[in-house]
Amino acid sequence: MHAASVLQSVLAPAGPQAAHIARLWWLMFWVATAVFVIVSAFVVGAIVWKRTEPRRDDVLRVAVTLGVAATVVTLFVLLVASVWTGRAVASLGASSTVTIELTGHQWWWEAVYDDGTPSQRFRTANELHIPVGRPVVLKVTSHDVIHSFWVPNLHGKRDLIPGYTTAIWLQADTPGIYRGQCAEFCGLQHARMALYVTAESNDAFERWRMNQRREAVQPTTDNARLGRDVFLRSTCTQCHTIRGTIAGGAMGPDLTHLATRGTIAAGTLPNTRGHLAGWILDSQSAKPGNQMPPNSLPAGDLQLLLTYLETLK
Ligand SMILES: [Cu+2]
């Protein structure tokens, strides 16, 4: 994932909701610009031109009436436009085929892809995939404090409130990787609480989803097997799940398909062997205050563990 290929902009809408919001933004921008220019022109005019004729109250009264009328009409148009946009983005009026339960944590995102068949549900973290051209419902809530889901290319903001679930509809029409950001201050690492949404063709999405549903791959080499043993006898299992092993913790992100993600720690670091090593030994230096404690592992064990984690495709 190259930073340059990732978009995070309200002005480059990639779906219908974002397009509505961008249109409203441009309307308000041009109206405000026009108001600014007109008012400035009057101010400059008042300074430059000296009054030579006596004041005429009738002309003044007409001017004030026109000014007030123009203001009322402008504000009314903006009100109607924003109410209309609010309604237009509220729902896509279609039955959705993809439902994602998204939960905010200090400071990462937990996602469960829902399915009518319970065995087809799966859990992942920090990186969503969605099919292009199909409406997606996100059911959002929070595990701790108020967070806010915001992927500017796809939709406006939606608060994640503890103990309360709300639904937000979105759709991507243009394939791409869109960066999201927690948009409600939620503590020390609020700024490092990013989220990536990959919008891709239906085929690519279904392939991704099929793979995510699977349990973790069984190690095929001795080193990967030993690495799994390191994982399973360390504290990792208290907080992390790797489906298909006894590790079933829920404090931290699900690691079953860790190696399919482009970043770790909610967009903080690229998912490379070196960064993973640094993160596992001392995640506090990369993301101070985060909920994962440092781990002191012998160098050999760490290398085996990394080899295992890299197999989790
Ligand atoms: Cu936040």
Task: Please check the confidence at residue 226 and state whether its pLDDT lies above 70.
Answer: yes
181 vs 2, higher pLDDT: 181
Ligand 1 mean position, distance from CA 146 (Å): 7
Ligand 1 mean position, distance from CA 305 (Å): 31
Q: What is the structure's pLDDT at 6?
A: 79
Ligand 1 mean position, distance from CA 190 (Å): 4
Distance CA 96, CA 130 (A): 12
Average confidence score pLDDT of the chain? 93
> Does residue 1 contact residue 140 with C-beta atoms inside 8 Å?
no
Q: Any idea which residue has 């920090």 for tokens?
A: 126
Contacts of 231 (CB under 8 A, 6+ apart): 237, 242, 245, 247, 305, 308, 309
Ligand 1 mean position, distance from CA 177 (Å): 20
Cβ atoms < 10 Å from Cβ of 101: 18
DSSP string computed for 141-196: EESSS-EEE--TTT---EEEBBTB-EEEEE---S-EEEEEE--S--STTGGG-EEE
Q: Tens digit of pLDDT for each residue in 108-149?
A: 999 999 998 998 999 999 999 999 999 999 999 999 999 999
Q: Any idea which residue has 């360390």 for tokens?
A: 234
Task: Please check the confidence at residue 265 and state whether its pLDDT lies above 90.
Answer: yes
Ligand 1 mean position, distance from CA 182 (Å): 4
Ligand 1 mean position, distance from CA 191 (Å): 7
> Does residue 128 contact residue 158 with C-beta atoms inside 8 Å?
no
pTM as predicted: 0.90
Ligand 1 mean position, distance from CA 67 (Å): 43
Q: Any idea which residue has 């791959």 for tokens?
A: 217
Task: Please check the confidence at residue 7 and state whether its pLDDT lies above 80.
Answer: yes
Task: Please check the confidence at residue 97 and state whether its pLDDT lies above 90.
Answer: no
Q: What is the structure's pLDDT at 255?
A: 97
Ligand 1 mean position, distance from CA 180 (Å): 11
Task: Please check the confidence at residue 185 and state whether its pLDDT lies above 70.
Answer: yes
Ligand 1 mean position, distance from CA 107 (Å): 7
10 vs 92, higher pLDDT: 10
Where do the domains of the chain lie, and which CATH numbers do they carry? 16-90 (no CATH), 98-213 (2.60.40.420), 222-310 (2.60.40.420)
DSSP string computed for 58-102: HHHHHHHHHHHHHHHHHHHHHHHHHHHHHHHHH--SS--SEEEEE
Q: What is the mean pLDDT of residues 165-184?
A: 93
Confidence bin at 46 (pLDDT 50/70/90): confident
Q: What is the structure's pLDDT at 2?
A: 55
Q: What is the structure's pLDDT at 4?
A: 55
Q: What is the structure's pLDDT at 116?
A: 87
Q: Which two tokens stand for residue 265?
A: 């720690």
Q: What is the structure's pLDDT at 235?
A: 94
Confidence bin at 196 (pLDDT 50/70/90): very high
Q: Which two tokens stand for residue 135?
A: 């409406």
Q: Tens digit of pLDDT for each residue in 244-264?
A: 999 999 999 999 999 999 999
User: How many residues appear in the chain?
Assistant: 313
Distance CA 159, CA 150 (A): 9
Q: What is the structure's pLDDT at 161?
A: 96
